[in-house]
Homo-oligomer: A and B are copies of this chain.
Amino acid sequence: MNIVCIGSGNVATHLAIAFKAMGAEIIQVWSSDSRNAEILAALTKAKPFRRWEELDRSADCYVIAVKDDAIASVASHLKGVKGIVLHTSGATPIEMLSGAGSGYGVLYPLQTFSKTKAVDLTKVPFCIEGNNPETLEKIAVIAQLLSANVSVVSTEQRMILHLAAVFASNFSNHLYHLSGQLLEQHELKFDLLRPLILETAQKVQSSLPIDVQTGPAVRNDQQTMEKHLDLLKNSPELQQLYQSLSNSIKKSHL
């Protein structure tokens, strides 16, 4: 399988390297930033390019992993290509690609990627969608190259997954940051919290979060919550978050 990789950020890099490892050939890498394109192209033995005239229009598959607001513009350059055109965005409808390629669809990996940390893609849930059943079947084959965890998910469901991922991952990470700041203000190291953070995430790998909720809010331990709010009296923003999240926990356990 010949793949053109469009984009050179975290998602593009992880996908291109994994495709390559599975025996696919990355023939070209496009990026608006020629240096990034060169780095990823070197990693995958592909040819970097920046001018759309140089696009190889005979690839089997075009994987678009660029910022959401650049997908439409990229798609306009893929009109009439033979291969399947895929975007990898959680928040972009499939229709954004209509007209690009004979078959098009979505290959959305539900994971958080950073440049510096390898991720085992074989366990990452890939959410796929296709513009027709035939294309969907081909996309499933492509997705299964990368992962054993492939689900067909509609655009509407994918939007919800993307939103849910913001709560489960982006917001949780920010709570880690806020707790780390509290520690720093009192000359305590973030290291102290790391095992707790990991165990909290490991617990819900086999349980549902509602069944393992702990802390003062779920016990309705007013005394401790008041002490905590008092400790936060100089951080109105943290106080407000503490209140809202505690109230939300109490409501979930009524």
Is A132's CB within 8 Å of the partner chain B? no
Interface string of A203-229 (1 = CB under 8 A from B): 111111110111111100101100110
Q: Report the nearest B residue to A163, measured CB to CB.
A: B228
Q: How many residues of A contact B (CB 8 A)?
A: 92
Q: Is the CB of B237 within 8 A of A166?
A: no
Q: Are A176 and B168 in contact (CB under 8 A)?
A: yes
Determine the residue in chain B with the shortest Cβ distance to A116. Answer: B207
Expressed in whole angstroms, the Cα–Cα distance for A17 and B230 within the complex equals 36
Closest B-chain residue to A183, C-beta based?
B164
Does A199 belong to the interface (CB within 8 Å)? yes
Show the binding face of A for B, using Cβ within 8 Å: 68-69, 91, 110-112, 114, 116-117, 119, 123-125, 127, 149, 151, 153, 156-157, 159-180, 182-183, 185-188, 190-210, 212-218, 221, 223-224, 227-228, 231-232, 237, 240-242, 244-245, 248-249, 251-252
